[in-house]
Amino acid sequence: MRILFLGAPGVGKGTHAERVGEALGIPHISTGEMFRRHVGSRTSLGLRVEEILSRGDLVPDVLTVEMMLERLRDPDTVDGYILDGFPRNLAQVHALDGAIGDYALDAVVVLEASDEVLTERILARGRTDDTGASVSNRLEVYERETAPLIHVYRERGLVLSVDGVGEIEAITAKILTALAAL
């Protein structure tokens, strides 16, 4: 199965994407984690994106798309994948459509939580880009660039909305049940 997780920063996308990937035996592919790994090991991509990540802006599409399309050619993706953090704007949706076509996604899981819950969770998490200014910028960027994707994928009949507030186990279980019903 090919699944995209969508939701605001702090909604628990990464946590559930990882758990669902394990349950289904397919790789969890997180663009944020990939970029952070590049920053940590000081690759040339890492050096180019470090500043952007700390501000909470989006990395330019050319860099993101190239990194992702390369990752999606790895053999572990043949039976499916969980995308977490890509596509994150309309241009990236079109890049994925162009590269993989209509078969790129079977479902889009949209996790939901209020802004108060999101801000509280992110500030508690304490990643290096989880400072006040970066967090509010990421929430804004999400609303402006990423939230419109929900509409695009809803029109394609792919969206499963799941409440992201509650026990982690219970939320993952709800997601797995919704996916099994497809």
| Minimum distance, C-beta of residue 127 to ligand ADP, in the bound complex (Å) | 8
Q: Cβ contacts of residue 13 below 8 Å, gap of 6+?
A: 5, 6, 7, 84, 85, 111
| Minimum distance, C-beta of residue 116 to ligand ADP, in the bound complex (Å) | 16
Give the span between the Cα atoms of 82 and 136, in whole angstroms: 26
Contact between 48 and 63 under an 8 Å Cβ cutoff? The reply is yes
Q: Is 28 in the site for ligand ADP (CB under 6 A)?
A: no
Describe the strand order of the beta sheet including 107-112 as a list of residue ranges: 28-30, 81-84, 2-6, 107-112, 159-163
Measured torsion, CA atoms of residues 125, 161, 169, 81, in degrees rounded to the nearest 10: -80
Q: Is 31 in the site for ligand ADP (CB under 6 A)?
A: yes
Beta bridge partners of 112: 163
* Touching ligand ADP, residues 34-73 (CB under 6 A): 35, 52-53, 56-59, 64
Closest residue to ligand ADP: CB criterion:
32
Would you give the binding string for ligand ADP spanning residues 100-139, x where CB under 6 A is met? --------------------------------------x-
Q: Which stretch binds ligand ADP (CB under 6 A): 17-25, 29-37, 110-118, 170-178?
A: 29-37
Cβ distance to ligand ADP smaller for residue 52 or 90: 52
Residue from the set 28, 81, 88, 172 that interacts with ligand ADP by CB under 6 A: 88
